[in-house]
Structure 1
Amino acid sequence: MDEQTLIKTSIIEIFKGNGYSDLARMTQRDFEHIGEQLRQKSGILISGTTIKRLAYGEFSRLPQIATLNAIANFFDYKSWQEYRADKVKNAPGKAPAKQAGYKINWKHLSIPGTIIILAGIYFFGATNDSVKNAESASFSFRKNTSNDIPNSVVFNYNIDDVQADSFFIQQSWDKNRRVRIYKKKHTLTDIYYEPGYHIAKLIANDSAIREVDVSIPTHGWFFYAIDNIANYTPEYIKADSFVNNGSLGLTAVQLRESSIDVNKDKRYHYVYFPGQMDVPSDNFTFKTRVRMREVRPSTCPYIEIELFCQRSFMIMRSTTKGCAHEALIRFGEQVMEGMDTDLMPISFDVSQWTDIEIIVKNKVATVKINDKEVFSTHFTSNTRYLTGLGYISNGLCEVDRAELIGLDGKVMYKNDF
């Protein structure tokens, strides 16, 4: 097995060990999650984009040694050399190395042709993904606008001694929020349009070499809408009153007053991010009673409950039984979609009041709907502490009760409205 094949097969093995059996169905969040798993095991930061490129074999040169060592560390080897040697030693058989199938016949080339080929060899040969002196980089931030949304954040960085072809700051898991930076310029001001707990990354080439945790809590509940397809910029919903008839929720009138086009397909977010984070995400209970009302006709109405963690997310998207293929559930590295998993048990009539309970004990997650256990799984990733909770829907959720409590009794949120 040549080294490039070993890299690709090793990455695929890591995917499978984390519950991802189909590479083609993996999302950018999934690749970022694998990067976090590698970081936790090795202490080495690798971007989701790099992991995706390695998985698809999209590299002409070997990755930097730090990346290779991270892969080896995941399998409990001290270095890539040790890992590779062990794989070669235990390989079932070795085939002699093959020469490239095409050779350049130099004597039949004209002088201009020779120059073009040599220039190409120089150009592509000079391209190197390696990053040197990454340990010399510094990365920090400060918020200039307290916890307001949008929030202006000033990143301070120093990459003057780092050797790489390009540098970026990415404010969260979303690679679309990546801004290019340059040496000798040590400040970048960026805007966060959503509250929450964000992991900002300092990136050299395609590898994250530093990261900082940016927490933007909310003053109580915060509401916004996002176009499902056309636009990722949030549209904020101003609501002086959001508790009606004993439940948390918004009205179509409030949407229009905030200039929300209710005729468009949107995701409506109700989120809550307290400043205090002391409930571990591997030992807690969450109870809620919820339903949704359609804003516009929808073939597959859904309610998505999201529990935000310092690392990763916990998500349960429920819809009607006829649309169970749209359901989704995620705990740590365990991600299951209705397209290839039977998630009928977590599907129900989302227009009716439904009691939902999520119990996580020592990383064993159990879901109950109307007091009946419908799902259970075990995850291994370190998701750290809970940072917030959210209700997301293509309609307007109504929440009659919500409580999020650690198994040690610490209350993160509790309200009967």
Structure 2
Amino acid sequence: MYQEHQYVQKCLQQIEERLDWGSSDAWHNDMFIELSGVIQQETKVLLSPVTLKRVWGRIDYKSAPSITTLNTLAQFAGYQNWRDFKAKGVVKRGFGISKKIRVNLGVIMLSASIMTLIFISFYSLKSPDNVPQPIDASKVVFESRPISKSLPNSVVFNLDLSEINADSIHIQQYWDPTKTIPLSANQRQATGQYYLPGYFRAKLIADGKIIKQHDLFIKTEGWLATLDYQPIPKYLKAEDSEEGKLGLSKTLIEELATNEKPLTSTYHLVEDFKSVSGDNFELRSTIKNTYRDKWAVCQNAAIFILGTKGAMIISFAIPGCTSELGLMMNDVYIDGKEHDLSNLGVDLSEPKEIKIHVKDKKLSIFLENRQLFTGSYREDMGRIAGVRYRFLGAGEVYSSKLSSLKEEFIIPLL
């Protein structure tokens, strides 16, 4: 336990209360990825999901967090910096409580022992008929189907919950535990709303325990473009993309220019790709940045490869902004604050071809045949389920070709 551990724990507690995502003990990988993005959007500092997992104790790491990490967490919690957070004295008040607890520890333990005996005696007198029986998940029905082929999309869940005896039953639509649908025990159907395409995992949860879960595939009909307003994106009609390439109209560029806050635009293609392995593929893309005014001076662009079991996110910016970049290879995240990602600083003011080559979980990135990066990951990506191109501001995609390295075929996406 490092010197400021108690301060850090109090800061994390305040962040959890602010997020209202439920107990961090139940957070999984996708939630730390999302938290990384939320923190970056608010503080303009990127803390990698790996760094966040270390701070939250999900990865065994003995060293204290860096001052950059502490300042960023404090800012996200509502303070000016780490010094300001400590100056508020929130932990010192806790020390007094801890001292009182230590002084009265004997009384507390005696009381706890008495309550335990009462509890055991009470339940020993109860009839065995009243003991809750385990749920037979095979008799529980939890199925889903999307209503339409477009977005936004509603999903119908078919249910049979007669085997479940619980105080709280709900559906968690995807990784975010706040996006839930409450259920009653006799309910036969429920519906959920999805605003973006993707490969999701829906969960049926009773009294905090996952009873059943299944994958849910929200596809696009060809390419879909969005302006990524929160919480609901703006969907762009087909005529908003120029023929032969993906791009935004002048009207939409003007809309970006009038927006006071940073706004991204994204091109999505989510569908079945003939069982292309996410661990053995090649994606060739020709892209260009087309907007660099106001908050888009760094010319950020990113390519997402969505798998049925994971994802890759490869980001680019002009050379002077690479400190803010990050690169995600499924279960491995590389933070530009902690690693040299300067090779991913590229000028995309003119169309450039980027090749993403993955063979046996080894990633190589090329810019017009010049290698920019190589690295490996461990967890299976599953099948490729989608591709996204995201630009801070606006950008264009001139070509996109996906190749399978196992079965040696090419899918022209654009």
Q: TM-score, normalising length from structure 2?
A: 0.66
Residue of structure 2 in register with 1:18 after alignment: none
Give, as a single letter, the amino acid of the residue that structure 2 aligns with 1:234.
Answer: P
Instruction: Give the corresponding residue for 1:95.
Output: none
**Where does structure 2 lack aligned partners over 5 or more consecutive residues?**
1-23, 35-48, 59-100, 124-131
- Aligned pair count reads 313
| Residue 276 of structure 2 is aligned to residue 279 of structure 1 | yes
1:150 pairs, out of 149, 152, 175, with 152
1:309 aligned to 2:311? no
Q: Alignment partner for residue 215 of structure 2, among 194, 205, 213? A: 213
Matching residue's letter, 1:253: T
Identity across matched positions, percent: 26
Q: Give the secondary structure class of the aligned counterpart of 2:322.
A: helix
- Cα 1:325/1:209, change in 2 over 3 Å: farther
Aligned to 1:233: 232
The 3-state SS of whatever aligns with 1:323 is helix
User: CA contact under 8 A between 1:251 and 1:396: conserved in structure 2?
Assistant: no
Say whether 1:189 aligns with 2:188: no
Displacement, 1:256?
A: 6.1
CA contact (8 A) 1:279 1:412 kept: no
Name the structure with the higher helix share. 2
5+ unaligned residues in a row in structure 1: which ranges?
Answer: 1-22, 34-47, 58-99
**3-state SS in 1 of match to 2:182:** strand
In the alignment, which residue of structure 2 is the partner of 1:29? 30
Distance change >3 Å, CA 168–CA 294, structure 1 → 2: same
Q: Superposition pairs for residues 105-116 of structure 1, below 5 Å?
A: 105=107
2:343 aligned residue (345, 359, 382) = 345
Report the counterpart of residue 335 of structure 1 in structure 2. 333
Question: Paired residue for 2:263?
Answer: 266
| Aligned-residue offset at 1:315 | 0.8
AA in 2 matched with 1:29: D
Matched, 1:293 2:294: no
Q: In the alignment, which residue of structure 1 is the partner of 2:203?
A: 201
Q: Which residue of 1 aligns with 2:174?
A: 172
Which amino acid is the alignment partner of residue 283 of structure 1?
Answer: N
Q: Partners in 2 of 1:232 and 1:333 — Cα distance? A: 27
Contact 1:288 1:403 in 2 (8 A): yes
How many angstroms apart in 2 are the aligned matches of 1:30 and 1:336? 17
Alpha carbon RMSD of aligned pairs, Å? Answer: 3.8
Q: Kindly provide the CA deviation profile for residues 309-336 of structure 1, in whole angstroms up to 9, marking residues without a partner as x.
A: 1122111011122111221211221111
- Matched residue SS, 2:30: helix
Decide whether aligned partners of structure 1 residues 351 and 189 sit closer, same or farther in structure 2, where only a CA change above 3 A counts: same
**1:19: which partner in 2?**
none
Contact residue 200 and residue 214 of structure 1 kept, 8 A: yes
User: SS of 2:238's equivalent?
Assistant: coil
Q: Cα offset for 1:295?
A: 6.4
**2:358 matches 1:325:** no
TM-score normalised by L of structure 1 = 0.65
Assess if the C-alpha contact under 8 Å between 1:235 and 1:260 holds in 2.
no
Q: Does 1:402 align with 2:400?
A: yes
Tell me what 2:141 maps to.
138
Offset at 1:144? Answer: 2.4
Q: What is the distance in 1 between the residues matched to 2:246 and 2:288?
A: 11
The more displaced of 158-167 and 263-272 is 158-167
Amino acid corresponding to residue 210 of structure 1 in structure 2:
K
Find the counterpart in structure 2 of residue 67 from structure 1: none
- 1:234 Cα deviation (Å)? 1.3
- 1-structure distance, mates of 2:264, 2:136: 40
* Preserved contact between residue 364 and residue 377 of structure 1 (Cα < 8 Å): yes
Are the counterparts in 1 of residues 262 and 393 from structure 2 also a CA contact under 8 Å?
no
For the Cα contact (< 8 Å) 1:131–1:164, is it kept in 2? Answer: no
Separation in 2, partners of 1:273, 1:260: 29
The residue correspondences of 1:237-256 to structure 2 (distance < 5 A) are 237-240=236-239, 242-243=241-242, 247-254=245-252
CA 1:327/1:206 → structure 2, altered by over 3 Å: closer, same or farther? farther
Q: Counterpart of 1:348 in 2: which secondary structure? A: coil
Q: Where does residue 14 of structure 1 map in the other structure?
A: none
Q: In the aligned structure 2, how far is the partner of 1:295 from the partner of 1:252?
A: 14
Q: What is the letter of the counterpart of residue 349 of structure 1?
A: D
Q: Following the alignment from structure 1 to structure 2, what is the Cα–Cα distance between the partners of residues 168 and 367?
A: 42
Amino acid at match of 1:208: I
The aligned counterpart of 1:383 is 381
| Alpha-carbon separation, structure 1, partners of 2:210 and 2:268 | 28
Shift in Å, 1:166? 2.7
Amino acid at match of 1:133: I
